[in-house]
Amino acid sequence: MAQLRTRADAERRKTEVRGKILQLIGGLPERHGTPAVKTFGAVSADGFSVEKIAYESLPGFWVTANVYVPSSGSGPFPAVVIAPGHGAGGKTEDWSWGGNLARNGIIALAYDPLGQGERLQYYDAAKKASAIGNPTGEHGEANIPVMLLGDDLARYMVNDAMRAVDYLVARKDVDGAHIGAFGCSGGGTATAYFAALDNRVKAAASACYITSFQELLNSPTGVQDAEQTIPHFIERGLDFGDWVELFAPKPYAIVSTTNDMFPFEGARQTFEEAKRVFSLYGAEDRIQWITGPGGHGNLTPIAPAILTFFTRNLKGAGDATYTPLRPEHPTDMICTPTGQVATSIGGETVYSLNRKRAESLIPTPAKVTAGDIRMLTGAEAEPGAKPSDEAPGALTMPETRGLKPAVLMLRSTPKAMDQLMQSGQMVLVIDARPTPPGTESIKSPYLGGFNLLSLRAFLAGKTLVGIRVDDAIRAMDWLCARQDVDKSAITIYGEGALGLVALHTAVLDSRIGRVIMENTLASYRMIVDQPVHRNVSEVVIPGVLRKYDVGDLLLATAPRHVTVINPRDALGDPVSPDEFRKALKLGASDRIQVLAR
C-alpha cells in the first residue's frame, strides 16, 4: 500500500483487487433485467409500511424480503439494502433498522440471506427446522461442494444483494441514484462484499466485521464462517481493507464496538489505511469510523450516528433520529404461507445450482499432474530431501533380520497396525498435522471438528490434505534413509480422511510401492451430487474438481498397486466395490483392488 501515491495508483490497485476477488469467488452469475417478484401482502406500522415480497436472485432461486416504505413524503426515496447478521431469524431481526430508516425518509429492503429465515437450504419439514443446524452450519455445508468447483458461497450471497438493487431501482418510489448498503456481523460481511463489487451503491456502512486478518487470526475467536474465509484471499495479498478501499471515494462507514470479537485494533488499522487511500482522491472526509461501547452487535448506543451517515450521504439531510422499535406481531414479517421457501415456493438451492454448474466445469476424464496437486493442495515438500535425525513418529520393528518391507501409517489404527506387524513389516506411525481437531465450537455435527482449521488453511492457500502430504513425504525421506528398509517394498496406509492423503502422496512420491486406503471418501464428485455430506472438511481441496477426482488419482499411481477397503460416500455410508468401480470409471484392473469388509 505504501506504493500508492496518486489517484491513478489507487485506481490501478482497485482494478487489480476487483479482478482477484472475482476470480477467487468464481465470478458472479449473469444478471438479466429486473428480477421476477412474488408479493405476499403488507403491514402498516407507525410512520411506515412493510411490504412482504420474494424476488428471484437466479432462475428458481427465491429471496424473501421485507421492504420498509415511508408513510409520508412523495418520493422517490433513497433506498438502503439491509443484510442481516447470522441470526436464525434473518430479516425479521432488522425491524428496528428498517423502520427507523423509513421514518427518516429512506426505503429499506431487508432480505433473508441463504440458510437463514425463510431460506433454509437444508429444511427438514418433519423437524420444521434446518437438518444441519444454525446459519453458520448451513453456510458451511453449502460452501463445501461449491468450493470443490473453485467457487465460493460468497458469489451467491453477493448476487442476492445485487438483485435486491435490481429490484429497488425498478420501483417508481426509489431514487436509483442514491442506493446504500448496511449490515452488522454476517450482514457486515455481506455489505462489505457487495458494496465493493456493485458500483450502484453510493454509501455503505459495514458494522462489526471490518478488522484485519493479522488481528483476527491472532484473536481467541478467529474466523467463524464459510463465506468469511475465501480460499487464497490472504495468499493473494488481500485483507479487509481491500473491501473498503474498492469503495473509494464514495462515503463509507466502518462501524466497530470496543469489545467485539472482530478486533477493535484491526478496525483501527484498516481505518487508517483506508483513510490514506481515500485521501488520494481528496476524499478523506468520506471515510468514517463510527465506534461505540460493548460487545459484538451492540449498535443501539451508536444507532443515531449510523442513521445520520445515511441521511446525510443519501439525502443531504441533517442528523437523524433513532427510536428502538419492535414489531407488534413478529409473524407479520414472514412472507411465505408456510414460513419457508422450500415448502411454499420450492425451486433451487445452492446445492442444486452448484450441481448443475458442475456439469459444465468438471473435465472428464482428467490427467493428474504433480503440478496440479501442488497448486491445489498447497503441498510443497519434494521427495528426497535430507531427512531430520529425529524420528517423525513411532517406529515398530519386526524381529527378522536384513532388509524389511515398511509401512508408513498416517495415524495409528490398532487393528490395521496388528495385521501389518504380524506380516513382518516395519511400521512407522506418524500423527499427520493438525491433530487432534480444533477446540472451537463445532458449527454443525455435519461439518465436524476440522471445519474451522480447514477454512483458515484455505485463506493462506493451504489445505489440510497438502499439509499432511508434506508430513508424509518428509516421513518417507526419513524411512528411506534407513539402511534396514527394503526401498522396493514401501506401503503407505491411510484410514478415513488420511486415505486421500496417502493417495495424493503416492502420486507425488514414486518411492511408495503400494497404497492402502480404508473407510475413505470414494469420490469428490459425490460431495457435489449428494444433497448432504458429513465430516468431509478434512479432505476438501478448493477447485479440485476442475482438475481431477479420486479415480484420476488412482489411475495416476500406475503401475503400483492400490487397495481400497470399504470406500465411503459423502455421508460416510459404504459404497460397494461394484458401485465404486462404476462411479470412478475404473473398469477391470487387477492393480486396483476394492474390498468390502
Query: Residue 2 has what pLDDT?
Result: 72
Average pLDDT score over residue span 465-488: 96
Nearest to 273 by CA among 568, 34, 4, 589: 4
Tens-place pLDDT, residues 301-312: 999 999 999 999
Q: What is the pTM of this model?
A: 0.95
By mean pLDDT, which of 4-8, 196-200, 501-505 is the weakest? Answer: 4-8
Residue 586 binned pLDDT confidence (cut-offs 50, 70, 90) = confident
Average pLDDT score over residue span 252-275: 98
Q: What is the C-alpha end-to-end distance of the chain, expressed in Å? A: 58
By mean pLDDT, which of 136-150, 213-227, 332-346, 474-488 is the weakest? Answer: 213-227
- Classified as helix, coil or strand, 99 is helix
Tens-place pLDDT, residues 426-441: 999 999 888 767 666 6
Average pLDDT score over residue span 106-120: 98
Report the top-level CATH class of 7-127+148-342. Answer: alpha beta
Q: Is 2 exposed, middle or buried (0-12, 13-18, 19+ CB in 10 A)?
A: exposed
Query: Residue 439 has what pLDDT?
Result: 62
- What are the residue boundaries of the structural domains of the chain, listed by start? 7-127+148-342, 362-595
Report the top-level CATH class of 362-595. Answer: alpha beta
By mean pLDDT, which of 25-29, 60-64, 200-204, 446-450 is the weakest? Answer: 446-450
By mean pLDDT, which of 137-151, 162-176, 409-423 is the weakest? Answer: 409-423
Tens-place pLDDT, residues 196-250: 999 999 999 999 999 999 999 999 888 889 999 999 999 999 999 999 999 999 9
Query: Residue 434 has what pLDDT?
Result: 85
Q: Is 264 exposed, middle or buried (0-12, 13-18, 19+ CB in 10 A)?
A: middle
Spatial neighbors of 267 by CB under 8 A, at least 6 apart, are 210, 211, 212, 254, 256, 260, 289
Assess contact for 85 and 135: CB atoms under 8 A: no
Per DSSP, 546 falls in state: G
Tens-place pLDDT, residues 352-371: 999 999 998 887 777 899 99
Rounded to 5°, the CA angle 89-92-95 comes to 145
Rounded Cα distance between 194 and 204, Å, is: 10
What is the chain's mean pLDDT, rounded?
A: 95
Q: Which residue has the cell 455430506?
A: 533
Spatial neighbors of 102 by CB under 8 A, at least 6 apart, are 47, 48, 68, 69, 70, 71, 108
CATH topology of 7-127+148-342 equal to that of 362-595? yes
